[in-house]
């Protein structure tokens, strides 16, 4: 009888263990797909948004070198890009765009904060731009709260915020500075990332925002770098596109694709360049 009972308990334990393993195998892990994403942690951005009073204060805190939240260098010029805030509003839907100023009249959308209101309830998400964070990269609040910034943007008389700053014209308190190593950056923003206010998901849950007329801004100067790790091998694909306009009116487009593979301490790089001239 004792032996049968022992066998029964063992079988039950194995069954529970198998079910746990099976459950773990079906967990969806969402991670940014480019190294550029290491320069701006969207969980930290989400936490900062939730604790600031208005969008002007949010933009200042986002770019403040003392805060150290922005470490983004999209064009690879060795200087952190200033991120400006531009807002579009349609009814009770607010579309807040984070744009990196990387050239004269040239901007790259980094992420959007999408907020909608239905009666007394709110819904929101932070959506990473696909070029930088990959497809379907969202941060959702675990529990929606009436944060101070909600009260501000839903005032009876409210004008959408549009930053007046651009490349070469910055606030007096801001100067271009060099990015830090990504490991140092991760330690710097841990005060935000160790919270549990927001969680990353592969799906959108804000729908009314589609009413907003939004035209994404994408710069040709942005370097797209994607790193994939599989079976001990790391593959990094770096794509660049350079457009040169000549005085005679012709245009030269230079596209470069650089694939670097690392495995067992060995490194192999293949580089392909295509140049097209247009009249």
Can you give the pLDDT of all 279 residues of the chain as single tens digits? 444 444 444 444 444 433 333 333 333 445 565 677 889 999 999 999 999 999 999 999 999 999 999 999 988 888 999 999 999 999 899 999 999 988 888 889 999 999 999 888 999 999 999 888 888 999 999 998 899 999 999 999 999 999 999 988 999 999 889 999 999 999 999 999 999 999 999 999 988 767 777 776 766 656 555 555 666 677 766 665 554 545 565 656 566 776 778 777 777 787 778 777 766
* Sheet hosting strand 198-201, strand order edge to edge: 82-90, 93-103, 106-118, 121-128, 138-141, 198-201
Angle at which helices 42-51 and 55-63 pack, to 10 degrees?
Answer: 140
Task: Write out the H or E segment, with its range, that includes residue 132.
Answer: helix 130-133
pTM for the full predicted model: 0.71
Fill in the DSSP letter of residue 179.
P
pLDDT for 239 equals: 62
For the stretch 113-162, pLDDT in tens is 999 998 889 999 999 998 888 889 999 999 988 999 999 999 999 999 99
Domain boundaries defined on the chain: 35-211, 224-278
At the top level of CATH, which class does the domain 224-278 belong to? Answer: mainly beta
d(CA 24, CA 26): 5
pLDDT at 222: 66
């Amino acid at each position: 009888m004792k032996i049968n009972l022992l066998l029964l308990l063992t079988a039950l334990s194995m069954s529970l263990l198998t079910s746990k393993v099976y459950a773990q195998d079906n967990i969806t892990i969402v991670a940014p797909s480019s190294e550029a994403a290491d320069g701006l942690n969207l969980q930290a951005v989400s936490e900062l948004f939730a604790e600031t009073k208005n969008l002007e204060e949010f933009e200042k805190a986002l770019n403040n070198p003392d805060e150290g939240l922005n470490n983004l260098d999209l064009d690879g010029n060795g200087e952190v890009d200033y991120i400006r805030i531009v807002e579009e509003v349609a009814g009770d839907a607010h579309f807040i765009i984070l744009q990196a100023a990387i050239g004269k009249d040239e901007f790259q959308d980094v992420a959007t904060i999408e907020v909608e209101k239905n009666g007394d309830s709110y819904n929101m998400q932070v959506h990473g731009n696909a070029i930088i964070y990959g497809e379907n990269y969202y941060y959702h609040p675990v529990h929606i709260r009436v944060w101070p910034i909600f009260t501000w943007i839903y005032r009876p008389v409210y004008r959408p915020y549009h930053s007046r700053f651009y490349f070469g014209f910055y606030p007096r308190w801001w100067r271009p500075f060099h990015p830090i190593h990504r490991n140092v950056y991760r330690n710097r923003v841990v005060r935000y990332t160790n919270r549990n206010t927001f969680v990353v998901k592969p799906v959108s849950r804000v729908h009314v925002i589609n009413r907003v007329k939004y035209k994404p801004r994408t710069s040709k100067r942005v370097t797209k770098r994607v790193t994939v790790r599989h079976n001990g091998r790391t593959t990094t694909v770096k794509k660049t596109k350079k457009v040169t306009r000549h005085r005679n009116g012709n245009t030269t487009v230079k596209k470069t694709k650089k694939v670097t593979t690392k495995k067992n301490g060995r490194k192999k790089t293949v580089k392909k360049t295509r140049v097209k001239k247009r009249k």
